[in-house]
Amino acid sequence: MKNLIIASTSTVFGLGYLEYLLPTLENHFKNVETIVFIPYARPNGISHDEYTEKVTEAFSKIDKKIIGLHTFENPAEAITKAQGIFTGGGNTFLLVKQLHQTGVMTALKNTLLKGIPYLGCSAGSNITGLTMETTNDMPIVYPPSFQTLGMVPFNINPHYLDPIEGSTHMGETRETRINEFHAFNTQPVLGLREGSWLEVRGAKITLKGTLTARLFRQNQKPIELESESDLSNLS
């Protein structure tokens, strides 16, 4: 039975790291003492140790202990023995490359299917979809595969941004990029706005937070999904 929180972002405007999610996380990890943190995405190029310290400080507010996956001699084995798991944001290409190279991707998928509670933010949410191909990140490294965990039957676009009315920016919008993806791929893409998350309990997938999410399907007009929408049958 899958047991996941898939969040668009770790931080919303005006609040500290993970602060907006802490009440949800306290319940999500209620039976967990120690959480294994996967720091591979390294936002802003920070070290694994620095990233783990930041996460440790946030989770101390709900009395959870954090251990960085990079400190284990056998990271894949550590994942199989974890009480709870958190994958933080950063660069999805870097994250996916290391997950595949260390054997953690397969171990993580098998572990999550057993019901171990998981939190993903941003890049850590990208990897819960079918592939990482709808990430917003630059390809700073070359992963051996774009395949990811497939915990939900669609792709995710975290930090989804709507076009700004009156903007003079001439670059592609997020919607344009997703349409480009759909020129070659059939799976749906869920645009998760900051402050929104998915709650996955077994086969049930529910949109949480106060905002709508934008759903894109190949050759169809995008639609808005209200908070508490059931996405379980989305494919």
Residue positions annotated with a catalytic role: 122, 137, 159
Instruction: Say which residues have a Cβ less than 8 Å from residue 125's Cβ, sequence separation at least 6.
Output: 6, 7, 8, 89, 156, 158, 192, 198
Phi and psi angles of residue 205, each rounded to the nearest 5 degrees, phi first: -125, 120
**Within the chain, what is the greatest distance between any pair of CA atoms?**
53
Distance CA 219, CA 222 (A): 9
What DSSP character marks residue 86? E
Q: Which residues of 71-97 are buried (b: 16+ CB within 10 A; e: fewer)?
A: ebeebbebbeebebbbbbbbbbbbbbb
> Are the C-beta atoms of 158 and 122 separated by less than 8 Å?
yes
The answer to whether 9 touches 191, Cβ cutoff 8 Å, is no
